[in-house]
Amino acid sequence: MLSRVANSIFWMARYVERAENVARFIDVNLHLMLDLDIESASQWRPLVHTTGDEEAFIERYGEDWSQDAVLRFLVFDTTNPNSIVSCVRAARENARAVRQSISSEMWELANRFHLMMRHAGGGDRLVENPHDFLTEIKMASHLFVGLTETTMSHNEAWNWARMGRLIERAEKTSRIVDVKYYFVLPNVEYVGMPYDNLHWAALLKSATAYEMYRKRYRRIAPEWVAEFLILDRDFPRSVRHCLVKAEESLRAISGSPPGAYLNTAELRLGRLRSDFEFARINDVISGGLHEFLDDAQSRINKVGDAIFDTFIAARPIEPDAVPDVEPDVSDNDNSTHSGASTI
């Protein structure tokens, strides 16, 4: 398929997923605030950190970490490229650019999602009934994923959408675990208190993981929560699960035979996925959870770069259809064609 189209489908799916994740973070935080009697700023600042936009926030709102300012920034601020309204708009613009490659239903939903955000522009609904509004956003995203599954052939375009969604989700789940762990928990007075449980439960809920977690583990313990969200094989928002499925899509796009890889993107993602598949939570924590997640995030970004270089960036015409894999100096990879090297 067209490289530009692949790129737009990838980002369309990423942006929808991103909007949903921001809505999740906010929703859970609002619930948590109702249970905790603590200063608002200490709760809202980490959220902005999660989306990675602290600098941009301070530029616009100074040190006003009030609920009001943070919500405005994360939901309706069109100058914040990662706000929900901006993400939905970007998703819709990408969908529009590939309207002929996705189903009409998907386009129509992307368009309606955008209109809904635009009409909610004043933010009254968010103030009056935040939970309903955020649920609507999450449901729009779920509906979009559902339409992707059921109205599109599971062809290359579908694999691009799935890969975009899962890479975004892997990145966001790893961020939220990282942020919660380091911003909230080290408050010594909370450890072991009921508050502590509330925080972990909130973290699970932000990934809709609470109920599924309870089915696997009897009680809430920090290392188990981390294990579930990072390393669980079956939970659809765990980082490992996302990486496994994203790799499936990537390999379907390249058409790689089993046991071989054809390009740098597959090499990087394969290694990352394998690190998650064989990691044990005790080793991860003793080696430093933050270091582990930080490294994972930068490697996810590098996978994204490699996908772009391999499939999207303009490539010169070549005599045969099999692309050469550039030696990857930064990772010291020395990949070759299929058959010559195996994982």
Partner 1 sequence: MNFNGYTTDGFFDEMFLDGSDPRPGGRLLKERIESLQEGDLLRRQKAAEVALLNMGITFNVYGDEDAEEKIFPFDIIPRIIEAREWEPIERGLAQRIRALNAFLHDIYNDQNIIRDGVVPEDLILSCAAYRPQCAGLKPPLGIWCHITGTDLVRAGDGQYYVLEDNLRCPSGVSYVIENRQILKRTFPHVFRASRVRPVDDYPIRLLETLQCLAPHAESPTVVVLTPGVFNSAYFEHAFLAQQMGIELVEGSDLFVQDGVVFMRTTDGPQRVDVIYRRIDDDFIDPHAFRSDSALGVPGLMDAHRAGRVALANAPGTGVADDKVIYAYVPEIIRYYLDQDAILPNVETFLCWRKEDLSYVLANIAKLVVKPANESGGYGMLVGPHATKAECEDFAQRIKANPRNYIAQPTLALSRAPVIVGDGFEGRHVDLRPFILLGEETHILPGGLTRVALKKGSLVVNSSQGGGSKDTWVLDETPDASLTFRGGVDPADVLPEGDEAEGDH
Q: Which is nearer to partner 1, 40 or 111 (CB)?
A: 111
Residues in binding contact with partner 1, number by CB under 8 A: 29
Rounded to a whole number of angstroms, the minimum distance from the CB of residue 168 to partner 1 is: 19
SS3 state of residue 226: helix
Q: Which residues pair with 5 in a beta bridge?
A: none
Question: How far apart, in whole angstroms, are the C-alpha atoms of residue 43 and residue 36?
Answer: 10
Distance of CA 10 to the CA centre of its chain: 12
Rounded to a whole number of angstroms, the minimum distance from the CB of residue 78 to partner 1 is: 13
∠ Cα 41 43 45 (to 5°):
65
By the rule CB under 8 A, 188 interacts with partner 1:
no
**Which of 2, 38, 191, 343 touches partner 1 by CB under 8 A?**
2
Q: Which of residues 303-332 bind partner 1 (CB under 8 A)?
A: 311-312, 314-315, 317-318, 321, 323
**Which of 4, 142, 216, 290 touches partner 1 by CB under 8 A?**
4
Q: Which is nearer to partner 1, 319 or 339 (CB)?
A: 319
Q: Which of residues 64-83 bind partner 1 (CB under 8 A)?
A: none
The tokens describing 174, both together, are: 């790893």
Q: Which is nearer to partner 1, 5 or 176 (CB)?
A: 5
**Which of 54, 64, 156, 305 touches partner 1 by CB under 8 A?**
156
User: With contact defined as beta carbons under 8 Å apart, do 160 and 8 qualify?
Assistant: no
Q: Which is nearer to partner 1, 58 or 139 (CB)?
A: 139
Question: How far apart, in whole angstroms, are the C-alpha atoms of residue 68 and residue 123?
Answer: 10
Rounded to a whole number of angstroms, the minimum distance from the CB of residue 2 to partner 1 is: 5
Rounded to a whole number of angstroms, the minimum distance from the CB of residue 166 to partner 1 is: 18
DSSP labels, 25-57:
HHHHHHHHHHH--S-HHHHHHHHHHHHT-HHHH
CB burial readout 206-231, b (16+ within 10 A) else e: bbebbebbeeeeeebebebbbbbbbb
Rounded to a whole number of angstroms, the minimum distance from the CB of residue 133 to partner 1 is: 20
Phi, psi torsion values for 338, nearest 5 degrees: -55, 145
Rounded to a whole number of angstroms, the minimum distance from the CB of residue 320 to partner 1 is: 9
All residues at 6 or more sequence positions from 203 whose CB lies less than 8 Å from its CB, including other chains: 28, 176, 177, 180, 225, 229
Distances (CA, A) of 187 to 26, 48, 122, 140, 199: 21, 19, 36, 36, 11
Rounded to a whole number of angstroms, the minimum distance from the CB of residue 318 to partner 1 is: 7
Q: Which of residues 87-126 bind partner 1 (CB under 8 A)?
A: 93, 96-101, 104, 107-108, 111-112, 115
Q: Which of residues 238-277 bind partner 1 (CB under 8 A)?
A: 253
Contacts with partner 1, residue ranges (CB under 8 A): 1-6, 93, 96-101, 104, 107-108, 111-112, 115, 156, 253, 311-312, 314-315, 317-318, 321, 323
